[in-house]
Structure 1
Amino acid sequence: MENHKTTYLSVKDYLVSGEPFDLIYDPALDFLKTFPQPNPEELPRYYESQNYISHTDEKKGLLSGIYQLVKSWSLKKKTKLIFNLNGEVGSLLDIGSGTGDFLKTAKDKGWKVSGMEPNESAAKLALEKGIHLKTSLEEFEGIQFDVVTLWHVLEHIPNLEETVQKLASLVKPNGSLIIAVPNFKSYDAKHYGKYWAAYDAPRHLWHFSKEAIKSFFSDNFTLQKIEPMIFDSFYVSLLSEKYKTGNEFSLKAFWIGFQSNLKAKRSKEYSSHIYCFKKLK
């Protein structure tokens, strides 16, 4: 492929608007950009759906029930991960905190927690759990943390390069930055194509490969390890089948999710990855 940007795939917004979008491939960075991108002022309307699960604590319905079940397991894994990376409890900033469950779990484990969440309804649910969230990163200017986390958040942020620089300023020297994002090179992404739920245009503005993540953060961080998110392939496949066939439940989705994880044991391309960075001195 020549070194210029081309349309990788044409998709649409299955959740809210039904509008079409293109995913533009950038070979220099090995990642995809959603096009056209809504103006930042317009983005909130694309989140206005009761089916946008990360902004609710909804447990009704099959997909919501599965999401909440997996979330309780993953909260334990996440708190164990940040402790292992830091070596002890310390200060934690979670960006895109949703309804605050991760911060509440970390707080209960002894972490000094802070968070940011621009969605008002999600932040209200967090407040009911005793977690007060800021609305922008600017409110943390001049403050540094032992650990900064973004769980499936980086793909939502409009000003990507500016945000990367802000993240560097928020992490203490030798501190940790943890980023979880979907992987468009996974088997389930290739299988479902335009129906792959983790494209989630236009809420997902960027779609990262391993090389892209490394490139964006190499100036200020060293990558220590990459962890798979093995349950993502099953949940994303269930949602992808719903977009493709209209069925709320599909045994085929579990088979595709299983195959994706099985193939990733060799390819190392899981449905989603957790990237664990250490800040350079």
Structure 2
Amino acid sequence: MSSRPRPIHEPRRDDCPWCGSKRLRTRLRAQDLRHRRPGTFVVDECRDCAHAFQNPRLTPEGLALYDVRDDRRSSRRGLRATARVMLPFPEPESWLDVGTGDAAFPVTAKELFTYTAFDGLDPTPRVERAKAAGRLDEAHLGHLTAPEVLARLRARYDVVSMLRHLEHTRDPREELAAALTVLRPGGHLLLELADPASASAAVLGKWWPAHDQPRHLHLIPLPNLRTELESRGCEIITVDRRTPHTPRDLATAVSRGMNRTRLSRAAPPATTLAAVLDHALAPLLRRTRFSNAYRVIARKSASKRTGGRPIGIPASPP
């Protein structure tokens, strides 16, 4: 007898995975805009803490079915700008880039931190190919929260970077706890996330890049992330809602919108024009509520105790 196929969705939840509140509202409904597979995804938002999350959430089998990958796409200029924010701190001996993919960020950062050993972690074989190509010193295949990974990497790194990574994880809190576990006392955590409070999210709706379903499982407001890090004993060093802005909102929205209509043939020139507008408006937008991302640098407590809850123990019901 053949076994019954496993469900691709978990049961729908009636509370917020971040604060436990039952005061939820539907933020948006969207289809898989990349692969055009059937099905509609719902993103709910907590009325109390503003955390947004996919509900019901895909199971691991569902994530595999939709080929959901943490595909970070940034220009070399943007990656270099991100790496530069760590220059005021002592040059790290070791740096782990989580969700590194093809290791584009470590390769760029190495130009500024020539004496730093850059390792990468990713759940796909791309990380091993990056190591074979000489783009990484060490490659770690898997998830940061896996017990065997944590045991191997515990307290090994001076810097851990997670760039546009937490949005794709099933449990961002557990991911943060794991990142602090592999950091040495006094080490730095470098985070970049899409900003769900961006005005672009309200204007563009389901066409906003960070609303991309089913790839984005969580959208974490800055106040929530800051409070979580502080509860774990971290010191917030810098918060930046300007320079992490990525000028691609209009181009992505136009491309996805037109490719789903009879106007698909006109999509390339329209997308090119939208991309020009994105870059032309970027200096202005990044100074307004239309900035679409934020960056946080946090320092782990220099004591052995990281503070907050033990790994795997959330503040609210899972």
Aligned-residue sequence identity (percent) comes to: 18
Contact 1:186 1:264 in 2 (8 A): no
Instruction: Answer with 1 or 2: which has the greater Rg.
Output: 2
Contact 1:230 1:261 in 2 (8 A): no
Match in the other structure for 1:166? 178
Distance between the aligned counterparts of 1:161 and 1:9, measured in 2?
A: 23
Match in the other structure for 1:59? none
- 5 Å-filtered alignment, 1:1-281, equals 4-16=23-35, 17-47=37-67, 54=72, 71-84=75-88, 86-108=89-111, 109-121=114-126, 123-131=128-136, 132-136=138-142, 137=144, 138=146, 139-141=149-151, 142-220=154-232, 221-228=234-241, 230=243, 232-246=245-259, 247-248=267-268, 249-252=271-274, 254-255=276-277, 259=281, 262-267=284-289, 270-281=291-302
Map Cα deviations across residues 43-102 of structure 1 (whole Å, 9 max, x no partner).
Answer: 1333379xx864xxxxxxxxxxxx6xx521123223222232x32232111100010122
Distance between the aligned counterparts of 2:162 and 2:255, measured in 1?
A: 27
TM-score, normalising length: structure 1: 0.81
User: 1:152 is aligned with what amino acid?
Assistant: R
RMSD over equivalenced CA pairs, Å: 2.7
Normalized per residue, the structure richer in helix is 1
User: 2:29 is aligned with what amino acid?
Assistant: S
The SS at the match of 1:113 is strand
- The answer for unaligned runs of 5 or more in structure 1 is 55-66
User: 1:100 is aligned with what amino acid?
Assistant: A
Distance between the aligned counterparts of 1:233 and 1:97, measured in 2?
A: 18
Contact 1:182 1:198 in 2 (8 A): yes
Contact 1:237 1:254 in 2 (8 A): no
* 1:191–1:118 CA distance, 2 compared to 1 (3 A): same
* 1:83–1:271 CA distance, 2 compared to 1 (3 A): same
* 1:48–1:157 CA distance, 2 compared to 1 (3 A): closer
Distance between the aligned counterparts of 1:236 and 1:95, measured in 2?
A: 24
Match in the other structure for 2:8? none
More deviation in 157-166 or 145-154?
157-166
Map Cα deviations across residues 124-155 of structure 1 (whole Å, 9 max, x no partner).
Answer: 24532342421232424223311110011111
Match in the other structure for 2:11? none
Distance between the aligned counterparts of 1:257 and 1:47, measured in 2?
A: 30
User: 2:81 is aligned with what amino acid?
Assistant: K
The SS at the match of 2:231 is coil
Distance between the aligned counterparts of 2:120 and 2:130, measured in 1?
A: 13
* 1:146–1:231 CA distance, 2 compared to 1 (3 A): closer
- The answer for unaligned runs of 5 or more in structure 2 is 1-20, 260-266, 303-318
Distance between the aligned counterparts of 1:231 and 1:217, measured in 2?
A: 19
* 1:163–1:205 CA distance, 2 compared to 1 (3 A): same
Match in the other structure for 1:63? none
More deviation in 194-203 or 215-224?
215-224
TM-score, normalising length: structure 2: 0.73
1:11 is displaced (CA, Å) by 1.7
Contact 1:107 1:113 in 2 (8 A): yes
The SS at the match of 2:214 is coil
The SS at the match of 1:42 is helix
